[in-house]
Amino acid sequence: MLRFICGGSGSGGTPPYSFLWSSLTLTMASFTQATTGQGRGICTVNTFPTVQLQVTDSLGATATSTLSFICDPNP
């Protein structure tokens, strides 16, 4: 198992922003929910976890982004 950190941000819309991180795969052991642009988790070595970030502005407008990466102990 490896620890990882993902970063994201919001722009446009009406600040402040809220952030919702989600795991879309079963290859992750855990994912720490963050109310900031940074999410942390633990993934299984040699898998391709997929995470999703949903950013919501103060008026309720949302944007979503998805990212897959290799969980590699030797990046």
- Would the pLDDT of 34 be above 90? no
Kindly state whether residue 13 falls inside one of the protein's structural domains: yes
- Coil, helix or strand at residue 75: coil
Which pTM was predicted? 0.82
Kindly state whether residue 62 falls inside one of the protein's structural domains: yes
- Would the pLDDT of 21 be above 60? yes
Kindly state whether residue 15 falls inside one of the protein's structural domains: yes
Kindly state whether residue 74 falls inside one of the protein's structural domains: no
Kindly state whether residue 73 falls inside one of the protein's structural domains: no
- Percentage of the chain modeled with pLDDT above 70: 87
Kindly state whether residue 8 falls inside one of the protein's structural domains: yes
Domain carrying residue 63: 2-68
Average of pLDDT values for 18-30?
78
Please tell me which residue, 60 or 28, carries the higher pLDDT value: 60
User: What are all long-range contacts of 33-41, with beta carbons under 8 Å and residues at least 24 apart?
Assistant: 37/7, 37/8, 37/9, 37/10, 38/5, 38/6, 38/7, 38/8, 39/5, 39/6, 39/7, 39/8, 40/3, 40/4, 40/5, 40/6, 41/3, 41/4, 41/6
How large is the C-alpha radius of gyration of the chain? 13
Q: What is the pLDDT of residue 60?
A: 97
Kindly state whether residue 36 falls inside one of the protein's structural domains: yes
Kindly state whether residue 75 falls inside one of the protein's structural domains: no
